[in-house]
Structure 1
């Protein structure tokens, strides 16, 4: 099996957060814990038009992100008890809840904010690519729930062949840090 990755079409994302809600529901996540998050970005300015007040030229757009199941994940070596591993077959990075000691070092290490700390159980957890659903032939919850079909998944090489190699846009950490398995079609107003 090949390394799995996500494709995000930022031009299609409407910011509805259905992906966030479906992920929270599927994983029974508490308030404040989000394995998938949607961020809003704005580009543009306001300018004064003589005698007519302020006119805006603002272009908002959205971006959905979760764990990128990176080629060089910073969370894996940060865990002092070895609770985080990267599957050798599909490249999915997971946290073993039986081993996790809740040191939060993975939370600090990940530039994308993927691991989330749960204060109720004193452990960290994160997106596991809905491997349980995939084994049943279903899509990950975030992919299945997106009404705009702005999220896809599959072998990262096939996604790159189909959509290109962009894996970083303005506001994101450098893709050289972890080599994320992510492909993005940026919004036409987004700056790279």
Structure 2
């Protein structure tokens, strides 16, 4: 059993929040967001590479993404990877660049995405609670080994709970912002 380390617990909880932000960044909200294309890998030069290693992705307009492929011979594979990514995007190849108009979201799709936001947020909350459990277990183990007193354990548990509450509040805030963005409120 690891010794209680508040900084490590905080780092792990913040990691769960950052993971949530990353997951939510990939959700399509009807507005152009370059993070939308982050998970796409392209088959080039005999291997799979992340899109951002073969092209520059930008959002020149609120409803348009532009993909500028560095090596013109890779335009076909990049276009194919975007089509097969299941993002509902229809690439337009103009010879030098690939333009991706972002279509409007249907009401049903907005509701689906809002549910997905909730499930991502719940995963983050569970991860944070697991870190809290590890911290409290470490405190109890330290007390059992007579390394800390009962009062120190209780103080530590209060500290861990406050950190947990703060992180869960942050998860709720991030999720609420994304939900508003999706539902267009």
| TM-score in terms of structure 2 length | 0.27
In proportion to residue count, which structure has more strand? 1
Q: Normalization by structure 1: what TM-score?
A: 0.26
Q: Which has the larger radius of gyration?
A: 2
